[in-house]
Amino acid sequence: MATVANDILIAYPPVGDHRLRRIVALPEHVRVTVGLDSSEALDALSGAASRAGRTIGVYVEMDVGMHRVGLPDVDDIVELARRASDAPGVHYRGVMFYPGHIREHVSQQTPALARLRADLRERIDALAAARLAPQVVSGGSTPTAFASHSVDSMTEMRPGTYIFSDRTTAEIGAARMEDCAFTVLATVVSTAVPGQAVVDAGSKALGREPLRGAAGEGFGVLLTAHDVTVHAMSEEHGLLRLPGNGGWRPRVGDTVRIIPNHVCYSVNLHPVLWAVSDSTIVDRWEVAGRP
Ligand SMILES: Cc1ncc(COP(=O)(O)O)c(C=O)c1O
């Protein structure tokens, strides 16, 4: 990322020497900010940055309902922000949260967004009262992206799935199926069992992620026939349930494009993406950041 961006946020706790070494080795022209939620992570980052003669930005991560990482308690948030503003080698830049718990259909998010707005206000007021008002309030997700303006204290949003969109995003109304820009190209390898076709894309190509926050079965749908789902998979086999009443009937050797339930998993399973415009391959993108 440092070769294409000069402002990088690492929205993940920087715990462990292997992470700290890479953070402080980033090129000097890159403005680096790290989200963290513990004094252990802060102290280690402060030490590594000081030793390297660097200043690394810090967001104090808050839990506002997802219960994954982030401090839930207001006093603890203020305490860690104070520590960050006093520590050498780091610069307290603000706070972050991830509203990953808001997965309702976009038409039903209003109560959850109102709660989020109130919870953020309480935390930001407490920080301001302690003279630690955050310069940046970083939040956002793909399901809430289009409602970001209603979370009035937020100054930065981080939608990611949004880049390509996927079946889950479309099902919860945060995109349309035709907005989905990522598909897995698969070949029909068998139609031997009546009522189904089998393609050469299973869990190793699509990821085994259920629809999250949306109703529906299966692990993906055909780009050109949304009623055809990948209803079961093994590692290299995707089983397509064929629609009744003379619908789509593929032949062995046909190719199909599948929109996965969750694009982030599927991207991570492929070393290369082919950029296609009007059925022509126009670019080849290496997926460089696969763990
Ligand atoms: C901390 C954090 N920020 C932003 C995102 C992007 O969110 P989304 O996948 O809803 O676009 C994620 C996704 O997992 C995340 O974990």
Q: What is the pTM of this model?
A: 0.94
Ligand 1 centroid, distance to 158 Cα (angstroms):
7
The set of protein residues with a Cβ atom below 6 angstroms from ligand 1 is 11, 98, 141-143, 158-162
Handedness of CA 120, 124, 125, 130 (dihedral sign): positive
| pLDDT per residue as tens, the chain (291 positions) | 999 999 999 999 999 999 999 999 999 999 999 999 999 999 999 999 999 999 999 999 999 999 999 999 999 999 999 999 999 999 999 999 999 999 999 999 999 999 999 999 999 999 999 999 999 999 999 999 999 999 999 999 999 999 999 999 999 999 999 999 999 999 999 999 999 999 999 999 999 999 987 778 999 999 999 889 999 999 999 999 998 877 889 999 999 999 999 999 999 999 999 999 998 999 999 998 887
Nearest CA to ligand 1 atom 6: 160
Is residue 99 within 8 A of residue 64, CB to CB? The reply is yes
Ligand 1 centroid, distance to 231 Cα (angstroms):
26
Q: Which of ligand 1's atoms lies nearest the C-alpha of 140?
A: 4
Nearest CA to ligand 1 atom 4: 158
Ligand 1 centroid, distance to 139 Cα (angstroms):
9
Q: Which residues contact 215 (CB under 8 A, 6 or more apart)?
A: 171
* Maximum alpha-carbon separation in the chain: 70
Q: Give the residue among 238, 231, 254, 252 at the shortest CA–CA distance from 198.
A: 238
Residue with tokens 């349930």: 241
Q: Which of ligand 1's atoms lies nearest the C-alpha of 158?
A: 4
Ligand 1 centroid, distance to 1 Cα (angstroms):
17
Q: To test the ligand 1 pocket, which listed residue (67, 98, 102) has its Cβ within 8 A of the most ligand atoms?
A: 98
Q: Which of ligand 1's atoms lies nearest the C-alpha of 141?
A: 10
Ligand 1 centroid, distance to 160 Cα (angstroms):
6
Nearest CA to ligand 1 atom 13: 160
Handedness of CA 141, 146, 147, 149 (dihedral sign): positive
pLDDT of 214 reads 77
Ligand 1 centroid, distance to 172 Cα (angstroms):
16
Strand 156-157: give its sheet, edge to edge.
Answer: 7-10, 31-36, 56-61, 90-96, 136-139, 156-157
Ligand 1 centroid, distance to 141 Cα (angstroms):
6
Q: Which of ligand 1's atoms lies nearest the C-alpha of 35?
A: 1
pLDDT of 201 reads 98
